[in-house]
Each structure stands twice: as C-alpha cells, then as structure tokens.
Amino acid sequence: MSKILVTGGCGFIGSHTIVDLIENGFEVISVDNNSNSTTDVLSGIEQITGKSITNYNYDLKDFAQTESLFINHPDIVGIIHFAAFKAVGESVAKPNEYFENNLFSLINLLKCVKQYNVPYFVFSSSCTVYGNPDHIPVTEFTPTKPAESPYGATKQMGERIIQDFTFTENAHAILLRYFNPVGSHPTTIIGELPLGKPLNLVPVITQTAIGKLPEMQVFGSDYPTRDGSCIRDYIHVCDIAHAHTLALQYLINNKQKSKCDIFNLGSGNGVTVFEAINTFEAISGVKLNYKVSPRRAGDVISIYANNELAVKELGWEIKYDITEMMRTAWNWELKLAEKK
Ligand code: WQD
C-alpha cells in the first residue's frame, strides 16, 4: 500500500482528499500545524473510512520538524502539499506572512524530497495564477498574468520553484490549479469549517441563510458580465479530492508527459454571484438577505476553466453540478447548527 504524506490534512480540501485516497487504497499520514484548522476533522475521516489518521502537529517552516517526518516514514512515496495560507484578502494585508509561510514550507519539503528520494509531489495551486485573464475559459497554456494578490503570487512562485526543482532532481510533480472549491462530503460528516468570519462566497451564503451572519454583501454588480456580478468556476470539493487520487495514480503508472504536468481543476462552467445566490435559494427555500456593495479589491472579473486536459489525461469525471454543490454546503451548515 503506497504511503502518502498530506500536508494540511486537517483542512477543507486536505481532509476530503484523505478520504478519497483511503477509499482508493492508499495509506495516509497528515501534517498540519492547525493554524487554520482543527483536528476534529480526523474523527470524521475515521467515521467515513474506518481508518484512523495520524496527524503530526508540525510547522513546515521548521526544517528539523519537517525532516523528522521522512526519517520516521522512509516509505513515503508521494506528497500532496495543501498546507498554506489561502485567503486572498488577508494576503493583501499580510504579504510577508504569506510569502514566509507558503514559500518556506514548500522549500523545506522539497529539500526532503531530494534528501529522501520521494518520487512524487502534487502541489495545490490555484486559478489565481492566471490573474485577470484576457480570454476565458482558461487552459493550462493560457499565459499567467501578474497575480492580483500576494496569495496568488505565492502560488505563481510555488509553481516556478517546483518546475525548476523537477528540472534538476529525480522527482516528478503535478501542479493542480483549483478554481473555486465548495460544498461538503455527501455524508455531511466533514465539510468546510472556516475559523472565524468566512471570506469565501459559499460559506458566507450558508452562514447568512442559517442566521450566523445578519446579512451578506455582493461585492459589485457593475462588472461587464451578463448580470453585472463576477463569474467564477465553482467545483465540488469531492471532485477536487478525487482528482488528487487520479493525479497520484497517473504518476505511479508513469503516464506523465513531463517532469511537471499542470491541470486545471474546474467544472468548466462560469457562474455569476447572483446565479449562485439564486441556485442556493432554490435548493434551500431560504430567501437570502444580501445587499450590493462596492467591488472587492483584488477580485478577478470573470474566470472559468477549460478542464479538458484533466478529463482526458487523468480520467477525471465531475460528479457534482452547482445545485448539488449548494445542497451539500447547505446540508453541512444545517448539521453544524444541530451540533450547537
Ligand atoms: C467568489 C466571488 C466575490 C464573498 C477563491 C479562493 C482562492 C482560490 C480561488 C483556490 C467573488 C464574491 C464573495 C462575499 C461576494 N481558490 N463574494 N460576497 O475570490 O474567487 O477566490 O477561489 O486556491 O483561494 O479564495 O473566491 O468565494 O472569495 O469570491 O460577493 O461575501 O464571490 O467578490 O466575485 P475567490 P470568493
């Protein structure tokens, strides 16, 4: 059974990916310093999979702690690297913390990949590397433009660091460019747990609907789009999770076309903020209390994916549409409310 190290395994996408990896026969260990997550999710993973997951509460900026993972687990064959700060708006306010955290942790991991001959490395990248694209949908060959935020810059730099690393070292890597991951596991045992006030649209919608937030804002209705609000490519977290399993299997089966292949992980559908709100209201029966506010700094006007490469090369099949994304997100919010 191949052992995979998942960094950020207590996070939203990390936890859902661990479930998918286990269901597909991988052995998994997690490292997460819980700076933006809690270990509560580990019991949920065990409830779904029947497997107990060890999480090492280490800071990947500490090389000695990072290296100890590989000394104690010489049989790690792959790493999926999620652990990073990821709030676009927060990164504008704290650029230095973002560069230090996201890049130092990556470089420490790559030092260990080299020192301990880890063959496979899958990187959690982002559609933010495209900046404000001139043409949509974007393909993996769409030229990247200056990132709109320090967060996006750390993903652009991370991709370059990994590409140059694989050029000289033995390891093979895959860069997975997520669009907007949303929703929760269909069992409603695990889901998105934003610590503090949520920043992303879907948790803001569900928390407004359940009454945790008195109202929500739509950041701008004067964009040059079909209804004036921004367009994004929402993709279910379980579809994103399964793409990671497929990416590892792609590497293990030597299907890669280069030392560092890139894939867009998006649904291929652009949805406006108002359309997302309308879809949520339709499945929940809840009228959302929102007001239109000024545009949010750093927001891209419109972006969605051409995902044909991931579908063709990884065999990726998307299972959830925007209605199901909203339904699982709402079911999760309702479950959280029951626990209170
Ligand atoms: C989506 C749309 C907002 C909140 C995210 C992640 C980033 C990356 C890409 C993975 C925008 C609008 C939001 C609100 C609103 N993912 N909005 N009111 O900015 O696309 O970035 O996906 O790496 O990590 O942050 O996502 O959900 O914040 O915004 O109107 O209260 O919803 O303006 O148009 P974004 P988001």
pLDDT digits (tens, 9 = 90+) for 14-28: 999 999 999 999 999
Separation of CA 160 and ligand 1 centre (Å): 24
Mean of pLDDT values over 212-221: 97
**Contact (CB, 8 A) for 31 and 56:** yes
CA atoms of 31 and 114, how far apart (whole Å): 19
Q: What's 44's DSSP letter?
A: H
Cβ-based neighbour number of residue 295 at 10 Å = 13
CA atoms of 114 and 318, how far apart (whole Å): 34
Per-residue confidence (pLDDT) for residue 148, from 0 to 100? 81
Residue 317 burial by CB count (10 A; 0-12/13-18/19+): exposed, middle or buried? exposed
Pocket test for ligand 1, best of 124, 128, 176 (most atoms within 8 A of CB): 128
Please report the DSSP string for 220-241 in residue order: -S-SSSSSSS-EE-EEEHHHHH
Per-residue confidence (pLDDT) for residue 309, from 0 to 100? 98
Alpha helices in the chain (DSSP H): 12-23, 40-49, 63-72, 88-93, 95-115, 150-168, 201-210, 237-252, 273-284, 308-309, 322-339
Pocket test for ligand 1, best of 81, 232, 304 (most atoms within 8 A of CB): 232
**Ligand 1 within 6 A of 296 CB?**
yes
Residue 123, token pair as written in the block: 């990187």
Residue 214 burial by CB count (10 A; 0-12/13-18/19+): exposed, middle or buried? exposed
CA atoms of 197 and 110, how far apart (whole Å): 33
Please, what is the angle between helix 63-72 and helix 95-115, to 10°? 30
Residue 340 pLDDT greater than 80, yes or no? no
Which numbered atom of ligand 1 lies nearest the CA of 88? Answer: 25
Separation of CA 25 and ligand 1 centre (Å): 33
Q: Which residues contact 143 (CB under 8 A, 6 or more apart)?
A: none
**Ligand 1 within 6 A of 199 CB?**
yes
Separation of CA 7 and ligand 1 centre (Å): 23
CA atoms of 146 and 114, how far apart (whole Å): 30
Per-residue confidence (pLDDT) for residue 197, from 0 to 100? 87
**Ligand 1 within 6 A of 232 CB?**
yes
Looking at every residue in the chain, the average pLDDT score rounds to 96
Which numbered atom of ligand 1 lies nearest the CA of 273? Answer: 32
Quote the Cα angle for 315-319-325, to 5°. Answer: 140
Q: Taking the alpha carbons of 296, 300, 302, 305 in that order, is the dihedral positive or negative?
A: negative
**Greater pLDDT, 170 or 298:** 170
Residue 298 pLDDT greater than 90, yes or no? no
Per-residue confidence (pLDDT) for residue 150, from 0 to 100? 93
Separation of CA 88 and ligand 1 centre (Å): 8
CA atoms of 110 and 327, how far apart (whole Å): 39
Q: How far from chain centre, in Å, is Cα 210?
A: 24
Q: Is 151 a catalytic residue?
A: yes
Q: What's 286's DSSP letter?
A: P
Termini Cα distance of the chain:
39
Q: Whose CA is nearest to atom 11 of ligand 1?
A: 230
Which numbered atom of ligand 1 lies nearest the CA of 202? Answer: 27
CA atoms of 137 and 139, how far apart (whole Å): 7
Mean of pLDDT values over 257-267: 98
Separation of CA 78 and ligand 1 centre (Å): 30
Q: Whose CA is nearest to atom 32 of ligand 1?
A: 201
Report the predicted TM-score, pTM, of the whole model to 2 decimal places: 0.96
Binned at pLDDT 50, 70 and 90, residue 193 comes out as: confident
**Contact (CB, 8 A) for 37 and 195:** yes
Separation of CA 277 and ligand 1 centre (Å): 13
Cβ-based neighbour number of residue 63 at 10 Å = 16
**Contact (CB, 8 A) for 205 and 292:** no
**Ligand 1 within 6 A of 204 CB?**
yes
- Residue 271, strand partner residues: 232
Name residue, tokens 């929940």. Answer: 284
| Beta-carbon-side half-sphere exposure of residue 40 (alpha carbons within 13 Å) | 11
Q: Whose CA is nearest to atom 14 of ligand 1?
A: 201
**Contact (CB, 8 A) for 199 and 87:** yes
Pocket test for ligand 1, best of 200, 227, 278, 291 (most atoms within 8 A of CB): 200
**Ligand 1 within 6 A of 277 CB?**
no
Separation of CA 200 and ligand 1 centre (Å): 5
Binned at pLDDT 50, 70 and 90, residue 327 comes out as: very high
**Contact (CB, 8 A) for 101 and 61:** yes
Per-residue confidence (pLDDT) for residue 45, from 0 to 100? 98
Counts for the chain of helices (H) and strands (E), in that order: 11, 13
Q: Which residue in the list 56, 58, 98, 151 is annotated as catalytic?
A: 151
